């Protein structure tokens, strides 16, 4: 019976790892669609978002089934509850990639971003994809130090996000209000994507140590 139960916990981990891969791929494609005004790629992100939603639904179904039928305690209970919360964070990461893709589609065939801010978003996209990959690894390995290491990448994302505001507030900004709004919103999407990735990593730390990191 215990072996079966551990297999069911393993299914939860598999599904969360799969979600992390899906949202990383979604953000990679959404970023490329944003930078290259690629409508087909943006549409692909929109079409595939349902897979993320369906996987979250499966995670919740499995997790609630374990809570109802197995009445887990201690570490197992932490694992099940954390899986529910992590699935929520991962779905939100998928939604944020979706928002980026929608921006690319909305402005097509025009580019969303002025040329002088495109390098910032290329780098923010790179960091976002890296974070999603590291989340996948942390879910698989439950490596506490690796989980804590995501904070550094999040700091890098925060630095880029803050720098965007200096660009927007510069007297040299000549692209108008609409472009400024787009840049502000898109920057926020990437920043929140990173925050949710860190949240998943913190839940892994909680599962392993029994303590939720506060910073």
Of the given ranges (13-22, 96-105, 165-174), which has the lowest mean pLDDT?
165-174
What local confidence, expressed as pLDDT, does residue 2 receive?
60
Query: Mean pLDDT score of the chain, rounded to an integer?
Result: 93
- Answer yes or no: are the C-beta atoms of 61 and 193 closer than 8 Å: no
pLDDT score of 72 more than 80: no
Three-state secondary structure of 24-44:
HHHHHHHHHHHHHCCHHHHHH
- Answer yes or no: are the C-beta atoms of 9 and 131 closer than 8 Å: no
* Domains of the chain with bracketed CATH: 2-209 (1.20.58.220)
Q: How far apart are CA 7 and CA 101, in angstroms?
A: 36
Q: What is the pLDDT of residues 113-135, one digit of tens each?
A: 999 999 999 999 999 999 999 99
Report the half-sphere exposure of 157 (CA within 13 A, side-chain side): 26
How far is CA 43 from its chain centroid? Answer: 19
DSSP string over 55-104: HHHHHHHHHHHHHHHH---HHHHHHHHHHHHHHHHHHHHHHHHHHHHHHH
DSSP string over 91-122: HHHHHHHHHHHHHHHHHTTS-SS-GGGHHHHH
What local confidence, expressed as pLDDT, does residue 215 receive?
60
Q: How far apart are CA 117 and CA 95, in angstroms?
A: 23
Rg (CA), the chain: 19
- Answer yes or no: are the C-beta atoms of 131 and 150 closer than 8 Å: yes
At residue 75 the predicted structure's pLDDT band, cuts being 50, 70 and 90, is: confident
**pLDDT top residue among 7 and 214:** 7
Q: How far apart are CA 156 and CA 159, in angstroms?
A: 5
């Amino acid at each position: 019976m215990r072996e079966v139960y551990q297999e069911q916990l393993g299914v939860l981990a598999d599904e969360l790892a799969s979600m992390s891969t899906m949202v990383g791929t979604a953000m990679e494609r959404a970023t490329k669609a944003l930078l290259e005004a690629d409508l087909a790629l943006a549409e692909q992100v929109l079409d595939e978002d349902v897979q993320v939603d369906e996987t979250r639904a499966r995670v919740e179904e499995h997790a609630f089934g374990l809570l109802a039928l197995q009445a887990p305690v201690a570490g197992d209970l932490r694992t099940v509850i954390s899986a529910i919360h992590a699935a929520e964070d991962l779905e939100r990461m998928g939604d944020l990639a979706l928002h980026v893709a929608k921006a690319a589609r909305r402005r097509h065939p025009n580019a969303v971003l002025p040329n002088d801010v495109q390098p910032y978003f290329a780098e923010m996209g790179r960091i976002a994809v890296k974070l999603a990959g590291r989340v996948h690894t942390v879910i698989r390995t439950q490596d506490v130090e690796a989980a804590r290491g995501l904070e550094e990448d999040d700091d890098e994302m925060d630095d880029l996000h803050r720098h965007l505001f200096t660009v927007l507030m510069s007297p040299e900004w000549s692209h108008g209000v609409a472009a400024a709004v787009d840049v502000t919103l898109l920057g926020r999407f990437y920043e929140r994507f990173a925050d949710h990735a860190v949240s998943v990593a913190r839940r892994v730390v909680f599962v392993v140590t029994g303590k939720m990191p506060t910073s």
